[in-house]
Structures are given as C-alpha cells and as structure tokens.
Structure 1
C-alpha cells in the first residue's frame, strides 16, 4: 500500500471519528417574528452551536445583518416550558457573550467556552440547577435537545431582543451511511490506484 493510500485511509478514519464524536450541533435562523413578542425587524441571523458535555466545550458561531439599531447584547436562553415557544432566563454568561460585536447592525462572532467553569454560565442558571456546572450542563443539554433553548440578539431598538431563533439539533449521518463511507472509501482508493497503473 503506497503512502497516498495510507494517508487517505488515515483521513477517512479521522473523519469517521469526528462524525461519531459526542458533540452535537444545533442550528437556528434568527428573525424578528420569532422574538417574544414578535417584531417586524428586517434583520436576519444564523447560529451554529456545538455542545460536547464530555469535553465541556460549547462553541458558538453567529452571523447577523440588518439590525434596525446597533446591537447591545447576545446570549442563549434556556429552558422554555414549551419547545419552540415562550421565554426563559439567560443560561450563558451575562450580561452578554464575551467579545460579541456591540454597537453594530451586522457582524459575526465565534467563541469557545469551557462549560466546566462557572464563568461560562449565568449565576442564576447555575443556582437554579443545583449550583454546580455539572447541573447546569445537564439542564442546558436537555433544553437544547428538547428545543427549549434559543439564541437572541438585543439591540437599542429592541432591548428585549430584536432577533432570535430556537436551536435545533442538526441532522447527523445515519450509522448505515457512516458504515458505507468506511467500507466504500478504501475500494474507491484501490480502483483509483489501479487506473493510474494502466
């Protein structure tokens, strides 16, 4: 087996490991009509949140555009009593995500949090879930999985939130798809090698 095939096989193994890791991705489209109460803001945003309770990592990626007035706050709220509806207290750090772009009508944000640290959580959220980061992580994961957590962006025009979106688990490849990738990739590599020799 030549080095190229070994490298491709190693890359496929890493891909399969990444696909089956314990982190879960959640996505949301943020709009004014999804706020509570709904508003007519033309702004839009998108969020991808990755949460891995095993490694205590919360990754937050947000992009937004078109706020009526400049941004003032952003965070994740959890947990509403009804999936996809209602309001809840802030779960993540307060008053806002550290480093979130403030005073702008459009922007992008990326940050990673260690959820085993109390600074990653709203103290009220910690207290209401046993006073420990483990309790906060468990409640947050349950809220995300149940569709009871939302990310929103507040602005000078809408201090209670201009745009928001409930976070929903992103589709995960089925085990059969992963198995086919694992079995099929070496066969494709072998065929490509044979064609080059001809």
Structure 2
C-alpha cells in the first residue's frame, strides 16, 4: 500500500461508531428495515441518503467492535474511487487502515428486481482492490447470507450485516465470507 495513501488515511478524522449510533438514537434516528431510517422531516433529501449511509457504516463498524473488542475500530467518511469509508483499527500508536465499500440489498418495496447474485456479480468491477473490504447490508427479511455462494473475487474481505427482525435493535454480522466466516448477533446502542 502506497505510503501516500496511508498518510492520507491517517490524516482523516475518525469516529467511534458506537458513540455515533448512541447519539443518533438519542436524537431519535433509528434504523428500520426497508432501506429507510426514521429521520426528522427537516433533513433534506440529499442529506438523508448520506446520513443513512453513515449510520449503516457505523452499524457495521460497531458490529466489528463487538466481534473484535481489542481492535478499537473507528471509521472515517472518505469517498474515493473504490471506497466510501476508511476503517482504522489497532492500537493508537500503530494503527492499521483499510478501505470500506458499502453496498445494500434493498427491500423488495424499494427494488424488487435487485438480486443478491447481481449485487455480488457487480463486485467484479473492483478488479484491483486486494485491500478493499466490502460490507453488504441486507435490507430484506428472510435473506440468510450463510447460504450464499460467493463468486471468486479479488477483494480483501466480504461481510454481510443487517437487522435480525423488523423494528428490532438486534442486528447480525457475518463474514469474512472469503475466509472462514463467523456469525455474530449484536445490539445497536440505544441513546
């Protein structure tokens, strides 16, 4: 990984995803199934999409913090050609970094023609992304990622996450699906 890229990542402002979710819950923002988030109506449409993506990234990173509590995983919003965010992990005096790309299998109400196979097939365009972590939020009840066939991809890791039940603060995290995947159920923080 190029020193310049690492220096750029190191210069970003990183957030504790658990604290982000706690503050969102305190403000009344809450994830719901179906690609929507309960947000105040005064938040403009373009900001709404960005905020939902930020909360999804925070939910994924929070799940990683629960799975690997000794890694101090934090997140920065940093959109580039092949990623939306950067994860920082490890001890503060010697952190590691990895780019994170978020994808969503939206609910059938939002797009009934989207399939998981199509979504996975489209990951092929990240051809030169050996350090890229892809996190796919499953926004459809009844889709269990444990039975999916993952095609060969030149990525670092693939994870799936999403709400366990509609209206619940219980979520799951499943990955890395390019290695030996683990299943974790965790609770989103409440404000």
TM-score > 0.5 by shorter chain: no
Q: TM-score, normalised by structure 2?
A: 0.27
- More contact order relative to length (CA 8 Å, sep ≥ 6): 1
Q: TM-score, normalised by structure 1?
A: 0.27
Q: Which has the larger radius of gyration?
A: 1
